[in-house]
């Protein structure tokens, strides 16, 4: 029943896309499409959370390849990710009811938006390699079309090109991964893959391919270069979906292949996810810290959060491989908790950035400022999102990070030296990225929303409509609930952990005072609700004492500023000046910076100039040589296109013989 | 009855840290003055200053938003809660399990977050300079602190402060890793509290200042709250060092009144020793350049990491 409900809703989503094309002359088409999307996402969300009767529900539809059909299935993991996808989808659609009205070319968004939602749902529901890959490519193409919504801008066209390139590369890696998994026999439904026995080298190869394929979609460094280009190029509600939700679909794919299809793990499987996860966390947050484009900043911070998720997944693999089921469950739960959290606050922040973009026409924080006065409601909601994503208690980002740290603290019991020495290094990277993340959001919020407006547009900005504010408010409320009552969410994730790593965390709802304790209360516990109430109580009692015994008068006056006369708003600290100390001290990890100072000689009246050139090391040392190599190969192979027919036939024959020999061996 | 007694002990701790924090500042100031052959203000001077500030009217900058007015209460509340969760005279108080060491550090991180935002709210360059530097210090000090947490909790097998203190009290032995963690913690504590050589708490108009630059625009009761919060933060770090590395005399929560009194005396003695050491250290060094601070904090981070690795290695041999 839930499966059919979900599948019907997915086909309805596809139909909504068609409706958008048919009814394109109607003024209300945009509203109608988004309303329908909310409804359908809501239905799929219900289908995911409703009791399923059986533990696993599956079906085969006579579509796609003849004799094979398309397999679909809902198990606990699918249900969890369906809930995440559709929660994000419904929020984005609600936001878009207001936001989408400002779209100049709605026909470049409306048909593809429901298709994109449907594609993400299908990936999660798929139960054979064929369906999975078709849905995966469908999702990629739909999102690519959405990235090209504002195709008049040169920058967006480039983003679309890079995205398409990386998506096809990732899709190719996945094709190979499933090819190896399916084996020579070609059993491509997941049930047969799960039961087949895999040789040692196969699992290593599949792991690497899955990491490339899923990682390139999730934005794992060094495959992340498309993400900060493509995510911000799309309209903001689509950016929210791509960053908050589509990256989670890629995480789902990784979990499905590595934790489920590949069978029992070996300890060295954990090395790759942890290493690349740690690299992503650091690179992502450092680049986020120096961005002045608000949406790019959020996109880079997605890379950081994906890194955190992969670190937790790597830890879960290491524990699972060594038969330490309980720590594995802790790390796995931490990963899924962070998946849920990130989908909430990243969507919220992208919505906020969209509202700012709409109200002021500015994406660069350097020309904003003082928005807390001009858009008070958005400013409050955005602040909530910043606190959540900066992993500060009492909101939810802290809880998942705390769980990851607790998992790291259990690692000395691991027997292998490789993992043993890797984990503390990963721990430093995680701690650094958490601290830098907080600094990054102080900068983003402080420069854009606080201080004095740096432009007329920022002064004139105003809050968005009720739908947009409502979507943000709902997401912030969910962040608060997940932060104050994490036990609810942990107990929801526990069945997934039970199925995929073989154990579950102790039932948290049984603990007193709604606190959470991953292993035992004597080892570690945290109670978000109590901490929150404590803070409120202390703040209010301080306020009460002051108002009872102290002075309550206050007076407005010009800023003191050490006695300097109020200067122009342009003298405020800018985003780049804020980031300069961090760039100088820690930037070397991720990028190379060249500062050039052009100081005129004494007597010369021209202005001095400081120019800063920041280069992405990964782009320079990995992608640039790769591009050159591909180009020179293409240049050399060009002769092949000028051959005669006989030469062609000879070439085909030679290739055929070579391949046959290969198969024979 | 037990619950009532426990609750009383917990509230006593909350009030104790609140009362002692400004006195600790006064004590350090007095000692520093004596070391410089000055008489110095009386030890209760910080309390007198706070009361004076509370009675003064607040002058708000024209551009100040609600965040600017709410931040002092939030910062004070977060640091006060964090300080009350660190065992001072007794371990295992009623609410001590509501946040472990990681959560306490994160609470301080939250306070830093709001303080840095408040610094940027008015839109002056002094506020921005302070916030920017605070963010840089924080991004090095917090990971260093996490490494210390790793070391200590690998040794003690828990992140609950009360349990750590109990373990350390029960296993008094010299460990290289714990020693390194202690040095790292001292470095972090100096940086986090803006003491010399990282920042000078006595300056008010100097381009190298950090904390004072962020709170430059605050006045009246808001300034009082922020001053009280920073005093509490210093007390918190001293309590943390005392309870993890020198858990002598700490009473257990069910040990009865007598043990608690001993714990209290031991705690005040420890604070006096810590404050004395701080005053001595501060009078014997000079403030360093701002871009030397990352090296200083980086040393703390590396020491913490080394300590962690050392525990890893020695544990499994």
According to the 3-state scheme, what is the secondary structure of B96-157? HHHCCHHHHHHHHHHHHHHHHHHHHHCCCHHHHHHHHHHHHHHHHHHHHHHHHHHHHHHHHC
Q: Is the CB of B112 less than 8 angstroms away from the CB of A515? A: no
How far is residue B195's CA from residue B216's CA, in Å, rounded to a whole number? 17
Nearest Cβ partner of A524 from B107, B124, B160? Answer: B160
Of the partner residues B58, B163, B316, the one whose CB lies closest to the CB of residue A522: B163
Kindly compute the dihedral angle of the four CA atoms of residues A508, A513, A517, A522, in this order, to the nearest 10 degrees: -140
Q: B207 falls in which pLDDT band (50, 70, 90)?
A: low
Length of chain A as a residue count: 665
Handedness of CA B263, B267, B270, B272 (dihedral sign): negative
High-pLDDT (> 90) share of chain B, %? 62
- What's B251's DSSP letter? B
Task: Using an 8 Å CB-CB cutoff, list chain B residues near A451.
Answer: 63, 120-123, 128
**If we measure between CA atoms, which residue out of A555, A340, A327, A368 comes closest to residue A454?**
A368
The whole-angstrom distance between B307's CA and the closest CA on chain A is 11
Kindly report the nearest CA distance between residue B124 and chain A, in angstroms: 5
Chain B CB contacts of A527 under 8 Å are 97-99
- A448 with A292: CB under 8 angstroms? no
pLDDT for residue B98: 84
CA neighbours closer than 13 Å in the CB half-sphere of residue A285: 29
pLDDT at B204: 65
Nearest CA-CA distance, residue B281 and chain A, Å: 26
Residues of B in contact with A406 (CB under 8 A): 102, 159
**Residues in chain A with pLDDT values less than 70:** none
From chain A, pick out residues whose CB is under 8 angstroms from the CB of B111.
Answer: none
For residue B40 the two structure tokens come to 């110095």
CA distance A525 to chain B (A): 6
Count residue pairs from A and B with Cβ separation < 8 A.
281
Chain A CA closest to residue B296? A585
Q: Which residues pair with A615 in a beta bridge?
A: A592
Residues of A in contact with B55 (CB under 8 A): 550-551
What's the pLDDT score for residue A408? 93
Q: So what's the pLDDT on residue A309?
A: 97
Of B99, B110, B311, Cβ closest to residue A392? B110
pLDDT of A286 reads 94
The Cα B219–Cα B119 span in angstroms is 13
A357: Cα within 13 Å, side-chain hemisphere: 23
Chain B hits for A513, CB-CB cut-off 8 Å, are: 98
pLDDT at B230: 94
Min distance B296 CA to chain A CA atoms (Å) = 12
- Contact yes or no for A439 and B158 at CB 8 A: no
Q: Do A439 and B136 touch (CB under 8 A)?
A: yes
Best mutation target, B54, B105, B120, to test chain A (most A CBs within 10 A): B120
ipTM of the shown complex? 0.95
> What is d(CA A494, CA A326) in angstroms, rounded to the nearest whole number?
11
* C-beta separation of A250 from A170 below 8 A: no
Q: Is A482 exposed, middle or buried (0-12, 13-18, 19+ CB in 10 A)?
A: buried
Mark yes or no for CB contact B59/A393 under 8 Å.
no
Using the beta-carbon criterion (under 8 Å), do A451 and B146 form an inter-chain contact?
A: no
- Kindly report, residue by residue over B125-171, the tens digit of the pLDDT: 889 999 999 999 999 999 999 999 999 988 888 899 988 988 888 88
B317 has pLDDT over 70: no
B113 to chain A: nearest residue by CA?
Answer: A442
Best mutation target among A408, A431, A575 (most B Cβ atoms within 10 Å) is A431
Query: What's residue A628's pLDDT?
Result: 94
* Cα separation, A66 vs A50, whole angstroms: 32
Asked if B54 lies within 8 A of A539 by C-beta distance, the reply is no
How many angstroms away from the CA of A498 is the closest CA of chain B?
A: 25
CA distances B117 to A161, A197, A442, A492, B210, Å, are: 39, 56, 6, 35, 13
Residue of A406, A531, A553, A583 to mutate, interface with B, max B Cβ within 10 Å = A531
DSSP string, A110-178: TTHHHHHHHHHHHHHHB-BHHHHHHHHHHHHHHHHHHHTTTTTSHHHHHHHHHHHHHHHHHHHHHHHHH
Q: Which single residue is written with the structure tokens 């709604």? A: A514
Q: How far apart are CA B100 and CA B106, in angstroms?
A: 10
Bridge partners of A591? A616
Number of H helices, E strands in chain B: 11, 1
CB within 8 Å: B54 and A551: yes
DSSP 3-state assignment of A504?
A: coil
Query: Cis bond leading into A208, ω under 30°?
Result: no
Task: Output the pLDDT for position B80.
Answer: 95
Minimal-distance CA residue of chain A relative to B92: A522
Give the list of residues 6+ apart from residue B256 with CB closer than 8 angstroms, or none. none
Which tokens go with B251?
């009473």
| H and E: helices and strands count for chain A | 26, 5
Which two three-digit tokens encode residue A520? Answer: 């035992």
Per-residue confidence band for B206, with pLDDT thresholds at 50, 70 and 90? low
Contacts of A390 in chain B (CB under 8 A): 109, 113
In angstroms and rounded to an integer, the radius of gyration of the C-alpha atoms of chain A is: 26
- For residue A567, the chain B residues in CB contact (below 8 A) are 125
Nearest Cα neighbor of A262 from A325, A328, A187, A205 is A205
Instruction: Say whether pLDDT at B200 is over 60.
Output: yes
Of A14 and B205, more confident: A14
Pure H helices in B158-292: 161-170, 176-192, 211-214, 220-245, 257-284
Q: Calculate the average pLDDT of chain B.
A: 90
Q: In which band, very low, low, confident or very high, does the pLDDT at B113 lie, cut at 50, 70 and 90? A: very high
Q: Which residue has the tokens 């901490």?
A: A531
CA distance B34 to chain A (A): 30
Residue A263: its pLDDT value, please? Answer: 86
Alpha-carbon span A239 to A637, nearest angstrom: 39
CA–CA distance, B306 with B317 (Å, rounded to integer):
17
Instruction: Provide the pLDDT for residue B208.
Output: 60
Backbone phi and psi for residue A57, each to the nearest 5 degrees, phi listed first: -115, 130
Distance from CA of A234 to the nearest CA of B (A): 30
Contact A571 B125 (CB under 8 A): yes
Q: Look at B113 and A370 and tell me if their CB atoms are within 8 Å.
A: no
pLDDT at B316: 58
CB contact under 8 Å between A424 and B305, yes or no, is yes
pTM of the model: 0.95
pLDDT tens, position by position, B7-27? 888 888 999 999 999 999 999
Residues in CB range of B164: below 8 A, 6 or more apart: B101, B152, B153, B156, B158, B243, B244
Burial class (CB in 10 A: 0-12, 13-18, 19+), A284: buried
* Inter-residue contact A20 to A110 (CB < 8 Å): yes
Cβ contact (<8 Å) for B132 and A581? Answer: yes
Of B213 and A350, the structure prediction assigns the larger pLDDT to A350
To the nearest whole Å, the CA of A117 is away from the closest chain B CA by 36
Exposure of A319 in the CB half-sphere (CA atoms within 13 A): 30
């Amino acid at each position: 029943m839930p499966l059919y409900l979900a599948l019907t809703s997915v086909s309805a989503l596809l139909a909504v896309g068609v409706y958008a094309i048919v009814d394109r002359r109607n003024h209300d088409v945009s509203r109608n499409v988004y309303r329908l999307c909310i409804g359908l996402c809501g239905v799929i969300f219900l289908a995911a959370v409703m009791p399923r009767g059986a533990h696993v529900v599956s079906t085969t539809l006579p579509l796609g390849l003849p004799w094979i059909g398309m397999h679909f299935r809902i198990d606990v993991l699918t249900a969890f990710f369906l809930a995440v996808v559709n929660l994000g989808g419904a929020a984005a659609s609600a936001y878009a009811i207001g936001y989408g009205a400002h779209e100049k070319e709605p026909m470049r968004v409306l048909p593809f938006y429901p298709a994109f939602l449907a594609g993400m749902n299908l990936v999660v529901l798929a139960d054979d390699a064929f369906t999975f890959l078709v849905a995966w490519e469908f999702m990629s193409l739909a999102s690519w079309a959405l990235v090209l919504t504002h195709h008049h801008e040169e920058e967006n066209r480039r983003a679309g090109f890079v995205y398409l390139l990386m998506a096809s590369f990732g899709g190719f890696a996945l094709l190979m991964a499933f090819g190896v998994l399916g084996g020579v026999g070609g059993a491509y439904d997941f049930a047969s893959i799960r039961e087949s026995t895999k040789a040692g080298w196969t699992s290593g190869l599949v792991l690497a391919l899955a990491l490339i394929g899923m990682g390139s979609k999730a934005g794992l460094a060094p495959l992340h270069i498309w993400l900060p280009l493509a995510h911000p190029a799309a309209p903001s509600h689509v950016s929210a979906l791509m960053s908050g939700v589509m990256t989670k679909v890629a995480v789902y794919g990784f979990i499905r292949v590595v934790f489920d299809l590949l069978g029992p793990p070996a300890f060295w499987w954990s090395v790759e996810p942890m290493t690349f996860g740690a690299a992503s966390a650091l690179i992502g947050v450092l680049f986020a810290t120096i961005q002045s484009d608000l949406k790019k900043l959020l996109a880079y911070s997605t890379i950081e959060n994906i890194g955190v998720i992969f670190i937790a997944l790597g830890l879960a693999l290491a524990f699972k491989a060594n038969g330490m089921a309980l720590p594995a469950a802790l790390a796995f739960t931490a990963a899924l908790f962070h998946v849920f959290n990130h989908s909430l606050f990243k969507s919220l922040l992208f919505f906020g950035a969209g509202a700012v973009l709409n109200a002021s026409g500015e994406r660069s924080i350097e020309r904003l400022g003082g928005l807390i006065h001009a858009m008070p409601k958005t400013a409050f909601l955005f602040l909530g999102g910043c606190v959540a994503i900066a992993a500060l208690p009492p909101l939810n980002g802290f809880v998942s990070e705390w769980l990851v740290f607790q998992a790291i603290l259990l690692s000395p019991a691991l027997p292998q030296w490789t993992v043993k020495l890797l984990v503390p290094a990963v721990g430093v990277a995680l701690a650094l990225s958490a601290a830098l993340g907080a600094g990054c959001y102080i900068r983003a919020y402080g420069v854009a929303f606080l201080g004095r407006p740096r432009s007329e547009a920022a002064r004139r900005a105003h809050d968005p409509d009720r739908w947009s504010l409502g979507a943000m408010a709902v997401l912030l409320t969910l962040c608060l609930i997940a932060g104050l009552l994490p036990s609810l969410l942990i107990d929801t994730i526990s069945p997934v952990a039970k199925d995929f790593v073989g154990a579950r965390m102790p039932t948290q709802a049984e603990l007193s005072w709604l606190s959470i304790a991953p292993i035992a209360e004597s080892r570690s516990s945290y109670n978000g609700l109590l901490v929150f109430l404590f803070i409120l109580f202390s703040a209010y009692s301080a306020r009460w004492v002051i108002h009872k015994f102290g002075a309550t008068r206050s007076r407005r006056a010009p800023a003191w500023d050490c006695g300097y006369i109020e200067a122009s708003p342009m003298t405020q600290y800018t985003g780049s000046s804020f980031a300069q100390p961090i760039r100088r001290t820690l930037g070397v990890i991720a990028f190379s910076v060249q500062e050039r100072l052009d100081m005129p000689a004494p007597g010369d009246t021209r202005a001095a100039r400081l120019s800063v050139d920041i280069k992405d090391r990964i782009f320079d040392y990995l992608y640039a040589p790769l591009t050159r190599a591909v180009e020179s190969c293409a240049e050399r192979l060009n002769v092949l296109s000028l051959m005669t027919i006989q030469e062609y036939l000879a070439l085909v024959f030679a290739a055929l013989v070579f391949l046959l020999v290969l198969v024979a061996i | 009855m037990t619950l009532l007694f426990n609750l009383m002990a917990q509230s006593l701790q909350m009030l104790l840290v609140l009362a002692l924090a400004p006195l600790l500042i006064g004590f350090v100031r007095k000692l520093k003055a004596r070391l410089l052959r000055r008489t110095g203000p009386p030890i209760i001077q910080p309390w007198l200053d706070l009361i004076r500030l509370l009675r003064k009217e607040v002058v708000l900058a024209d551009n100040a938003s609600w965040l600017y007015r709410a931040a002092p209460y939030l910062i004070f509340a977060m640091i006060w809660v964090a300080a009350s969760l660190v065992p001072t005279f007794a371990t295992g108080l009623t609410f001590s399990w509501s946040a472990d060491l990681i959560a306490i550090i994160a609470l301080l991180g939250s306070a830093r977050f709001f303080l840095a935002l408040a610094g940027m709210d008015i839109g002056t360059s002094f506020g921005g300079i302070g916030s920017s530097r605070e963010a840089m210090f924080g991004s090095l000090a917090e990971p260093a602190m996490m490494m210390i947490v790793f070391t200590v909790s690998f040794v003690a097998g828990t992140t609950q402060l009360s349990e750590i203190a109990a373990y350390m009290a029960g296993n008094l032995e010299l460990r290289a890793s714990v020693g390194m963690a202690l040095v790292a913690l001292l470095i972090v504590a100096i940086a986090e509290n803006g003491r010399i050589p990282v920042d000078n708490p006595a300056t008010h108009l100097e381009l190298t200042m950090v904390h004072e630059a962020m709170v430059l625009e605050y006045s009246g009761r808001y300034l009082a709250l922020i001053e009280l919060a920073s005093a509490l933060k210093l007390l918190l770090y001293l309590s943390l060092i005392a309870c993890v590395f020198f858990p002598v005399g700490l009473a257990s929560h069910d040990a009865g009144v007598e043990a608690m009194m001993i714990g209290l005396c031991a705690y005040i003695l420890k604070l006096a020793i810590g404050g004395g050491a701080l005053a001595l250290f501060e009078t014997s060094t000079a403030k360093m350049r701002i871009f030397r601070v990352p090296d200083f904090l980086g040393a703390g981070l590396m020491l913490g990491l080394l300590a962690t690795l050392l525990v890893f290695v020695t544990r499994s041999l």
